[in-house]
Chain A
Amino acid sequence: MGRKYLLGNEAIAHACVESGVDFVSGYPGTPSSEVIDVLRVQPDRSYYVEWSVNEKVALENALAAAWCGIRSLCTMKHVGLNVAADPLMTSAYTGVTGGLVIMSADDPFAHSSQNEQDTRCYAHFARIPCLDPASIQEAHDMIPEAFRLSEELGLPVLFRPTTRICHSKGDVDLGEPVVRIRKGEFHKDPRQYVVIPAHTRVLHKKLNDKQAAMKKRLVERGFNCYTIRGKIAIISGGIGATYVQELLPEGVSFMKIGAYPIDEAWLGDFVKKHEKVLVIEELAPEAEEAVRQAAGCIPVFGKKNGYAPYEGELSPQVVAVIMEKAGFLPKNPFPQVDPIQNLPPRPPILCAGCLHRSAFYAIKKVFRDAIYPSDIGCYTLGLQLGVVDTTICMGASITVASGISHAGDPHDIVCTIGDSTFLHTGIQGLINAVYNGANITVVILDNRITAMTGHQPNPNTGVTACGVESPPVSLDALCRSCGVSFVESVDPYDITGMVNILQEAKKRKGVKVIIAKQMCVISARRVGVKRGRYRVNTDICTSCGTCIRFGCPAIEIEDEKARINELCSGCAVCTELCPVGAIVREGKK
Chain B
Amino acid sequence: MSGSFDILIIGIGGQGTILASNILGEACLIEGRHVKGAETHGMAQRGGSVESHIRIDGQFGPLIPPGQADLLISFDLLEAIRYSHYLKKGGKMVVNKHLVLPTSVYTQNLVAPTENEIIAALKKYALCLPDADKMAEDAGSPLSQNVVMLGAASKSMPLKPESLLLAVKNLVPKKTVEINVKAFETGREFGGTC
Contacts and interface: CB of A to CB of B under 8 A. Distances in A.
Nearest to B39: A167
A293 interface: no
Contacts of A346: 12, 47-49, 78-79, 82, 102, 104
A436 interface: no
Interface string A101-142: 000000000011000000000000000000000000000000
B26 interface: yes
Given A246-B1, A348-B45, A5 B104 contact: no
Determine which residue in B25, B61, B111 has the highest number of CB atoms from chain A within 10 A of its CB, and name it: B61
Contacts of A168: 36-39, 62
B42 A453 contact: yes
B38 A112 contact: no
A31 B42 contact: yes
B178 to A, nearest CB: 23
Interface stretch (B65-73, B155-163, B180-188): B65-73
B67 A348 contact: no
A543 to B, nearest CB: 12
Interface stretch (A66-74, A89-97, A255-263, A334-342): A334-342
Interface in A371-385: 378, 380-381, 384
Nearest to B110: A344
B63 to A, nearest CB: 5
A454 B45 CA distance: 10
A348 B43 contact: yes
A259 B105 CA distance: 47
Interface in B10-42: 12-13, 21-22, 25-26, 28-29, 33-42
Interface residues of A, number: 55
A334 B63 contact: no
A135 to B, nearest CB: 8
A378 B43 contact: yes
Interface string A237-250: 00100110110000
Interface string A315-350: 111001000000000000111011110111111111
Contacts of A315: 63, 65
B69 to A, nearest CB: 11
Given A317-B66, A338-B85, A349-B46, A553 B35 contact: no
Contacts of A556: 101, 106
Contacts of B65: 315-317, 320, 334
B163 to A, nearest CB: 12
Given A551-B107, A556-B101, A171 B61 contact: no
**Residue of A31, A171, A245, A351 with highest tally of chain B CB at under 10 A:** A171
Contact of B85 (A31, A170, A339, A384): A339
A167 B84 CA distance: 23
A374 B67 CA distance: 40
A349 B47 contact: yes
Interface in B80-108: 81-85, 101-107
B29 A316 contact: no
Given A167-B38, A169-B37, A351 B47 contact: yes
Contacts of A588: none
B101 A347 contact: no
B143 to A, nearest CB: 12
B48 A343 contact: no
B44 interface: yes
Interface residues of B, number: 54
Nearest to A4: B29
A555 interface: yes
Nearest to B63: A315
B177 interface: no
A349 B47 CA distance: 6
A339 B78 CA distance: 13
Nearest to B103: A553
Contacts, number: 159
B107 A348 contact: no
B194 interface: no
Nearest to A170: B36
Nearest to B102: A346
A164 B61 contact: yes
Interface string A384-425: 100000000000000000000000000000000000000000
Contacts of A320: 65
Contact of A348 (B13, B25, B58, B60): B13
Contact of B29 (A3, A246, A378, A553): A3
B192 interface: no
A351 B65 CA distance: 31
B84 to A, nearest CB: 7
B144 to A, nearest CB: 15
Contact of A337 (B41, B85, B102, B104): B85
A4 B47 CA distance: 29
A421 to B, nearest CB: 14
A277 to B, nearest CB: 22
A557 interface: yes
Nearest to A347: B48
A344 B102 contact: yes
A557 B109 CA distance: 11
Contacts of B84: 339-340
Contacts of B63: 164, 243, 315-316
Nearest to A380: B43
A350 B43 CA distance: 10
Contacts of A345: 102, 104
Given A344-B110, A347-B48, A339 B41 contact: no
Contacts of B126: none
Contact of B35 (A170, A239, A340, A453): A170
A465 B47 CA distance: 26
A183 interface: no
Interface in B98-141: 101-107, 110-113
B42 A170 contact: no
B50 to A, nearest CB: 9
A284 interface: no
B175 to A, nearest CB: 15
B112 A344 contact: yes
Interface in A45-62: none
14 contacts: A3-B29, A164-B62, A169-B25, A170-B36, A239-B61, A316-B61, A334-B66, A335-B67, A339-B66, A342-B111, A346-B79, A348-B45, A348-B48, A452-B46
Given A164-B38, A245-B60, A344-B102, 13 more contacts: A112-B41, A112-B42, A169-B35, A169-B39, A170-B62, A320-B65, A339-B82, A339-B83, A343-B82, A378-B46, A452-B42, A452-B46, A549-B107
**3 nearest A-B pairs in the assembled complex, by CB-CB distance:** A5-B25, A30-B42, A112-B42
